Amino acid sequence: MMMPRPAALTVWPMHLPRFDYCRSGAYFITFCTAHRHPLLAEVDAGRLRLAAPGQIVADAWPDAPGFSPAQ
């Protein structure tokens, strides 16, 4: 059963109004996991250590521009 999100954790849209996000450029992307569990990676002695799901994301990342519906 999904619990309602407390009002203090409300997420506001982080996009700029009237900005064309289809253009080429650098974008900051945040990946969120359920209950903030470190499913993708952990920091170990100051170094990022990818978990298996994180490695899947890292391997697929170079192909991400081809997933755009605008293309």
pLDDT of amino acid 10: 67
Tell me the pTM: 0.54
In the block, which residue shows the tokens 């900051």?
28
In the chain, where are the structural domains located? 28-56
Per-residue pLDDT of the chain (71 residues; tens, 9 = 90+): 666 666 666 666 777 888 887 887 787 777 788 888 889 999 999 999 999 999 999 999 898 877 766 55
pLDDT of amino acid 19: 84
Is 68 buried (19+), middle (13-18) or exposed (0-12) by CB count in 10 A?
exposed
